Amino acid sequence: MTQLKDKAIQAMLLGDWKNATSLNKALLSENPKDIDALNRLAYALTILGKIQDARSTYRKVLKLDILNQIAIRNIKKLTDFGPRQIAKSTSSIKAVNNIFLEETGKTKIISLVNTAQPKVIALLKTGQPVITAIKRSKIFIQDQNKQYLGVLPDDIGRRLIKLIKGGNAYTACIKSANEHNVSVFIKETKRASRYKNQPSFPQTADSELGLSKNKTKIRNFKDEEDETGYFLDTEEES
């Protein structure tokens, strides 16, 4: 099952939508309630232009999880957008360089605070790998030359510091950057055994920073406007 899932995700990352469709269908034949596989399948069907099938698949997700943000967001867009808008949106998606593939509880797009000067931000590109460095109980975001770019918000930063010190690992890249906002895409690449039931990015607000092993209700979403990045390992500095 794990190997099949890895192949399905890899097919998505490579933009091999027909193969991704087949692999996710195979996963669903083993577990029809696999929400992640349903969302991946629906997205692949959208790219292939099979809009009705995509809508139907997203509806299956909502029957299993009425609050699932991937399904809610994308079914709304499939309903609101006309065929021309959908075609324009999906035609801009290209292989690895143009996809952000999110995983439930493992990824999050985060806007930085206290960002660097505009002349520094102006040099950033979508998909550019960045470094996450722990300093003074905060997580600083730096480019590969360790140029300061910004800081994660305190609540998310404190949570990730606890998880990192407990054995988790993360990678990050630039999601978007302009004079008003810089956002990064952060992905969990390793989960410590002590946190095996604890998502890095729970959606429920009440999970705050306590790292309760019982609070695992999380969501994920896929936005066709997202673009993919490559990731570097987390660093910790004293």
Q: Please report, in tens digits, the pLDDT of each residue of the chain (238 residues total).
A: 678 888 888 787 667 889 999 999 999 999 999 999 999 999 889 888 888 899 999 999 999 999 998 888 888 878 776 666 665 555 544 443 444 567 778 888 899 999 999 888 888 877 788 999 999 899 999 998 899 999 999 999 999 999 999 999 998 988 888 877 899 999 898 999 999 889 999 865 333 334 443 333 333 333 333 333 223 333 444 4
The tokens of 202 are what? 């729970």
Same domain, 119 and 156: yes
Q: What is the C-alpha R_g of the chain?
A: 18
Domain termination residue (choose one: 33, 62, 97): 97
Domain termination residue (choose one: 97, 126, 156): 97
**Residue at 47 is within a domain:** yes
Same domain, 88 and 122: no
Tokens 């999601």: give the residue: 175
Please state whether beta strands 235-236 and 129-135 pair in parallel, antiparallel, or not at all (unpaired).
parallel
Same domain, 217 and 126: yes
- What is the total count of domains within the chain? 2
Same domain, 124 and 211: yes
Same domain, 51 and 134: no
**Residue at 102 is within a domain:** no
The 10 Å Cβ neighbour count of residue 116 is 20
- pTM (predicted TM-score): 0.50
Q: Which domain holds residue 227?
A: 107-236
- Backbone φ/ψ region at 168: left (φ over 0), alpha (ψ -120 to 50), beta: beta
Same domain, 114 and 231: yes
Same domain, 132 and 231: yes
Domain termination residue (choose one: 97, 122, 149): 97
Same domain, 69 and 128: no
Same domain, 232 and 114: yes
Angstrom distance (rounded) from CA 149 to CA 27: 40
Same domain, 112 and 230: yes
Same domain, 49 and 148: no
C-alpha to C-alpha distances, 171 to 9, 20, 90, 105, 114, nearest whole angstrom = 17, 24, 26, 14, 21
CATH number at residue 161: 3.30.70.2330
The tokens of 130 are what? 């960045």
CATH number at residue 17: 1.25.40.10
The tokens of 41 are what? 């399948």
Angstrom distance (rounded) from CA 15 to CA 216: 30
